[in-house]
Amino acid sequence: MNDTGKAYWSAVLGLLAKVLLIWFAVSFGAGILFADVLNGISLGGYPLGFWFAQQGSIYVFIVLIFYYAKAMNRIDRKFDVHE
């Protein structure tokens, strides 16, 4: 593999690591680990920890999908491997 290929995969894996870290923090962190702390804050009449576990994480996941697609397109264009 040449240097360009290594740089491309490094960028792709870096993006993937960032997205998975955010996914983990929101799903496991906000929904389970920090739920007691977040439940001290209310959003729409519901404790924030409960809200993240039930609906907030879904919104974050949808945003992550669009962010990932846009960032991958940017990386593909940068390394001239786009469609």
Is-contact 49 31, C-beta < 8 A?
yes
Instruction: Write the pLDDT tens digit of every residue in 6-51.
Output: 999 999 999 999 999 999 998 888 888 888 898 999 888 889 888 8
Query: Domain residues of the chain, as ranges?
Result: 3-78
Three-state secondary structure call for residue 77? helix
Q: What is the pLDDT of residue 56?
A: 85
Q: What is the pLDDT of residue 60?
A: 92
Which residues is 60 bridged to in the sheet? Answer: none
Q: What is the pLDDT of residue 35?
A: 86
Q: Averaged over 65-75, what is the pLDDT?
A: 97
Q: Is pLDDT at 1 greater than 80 in this prediction?
A: no
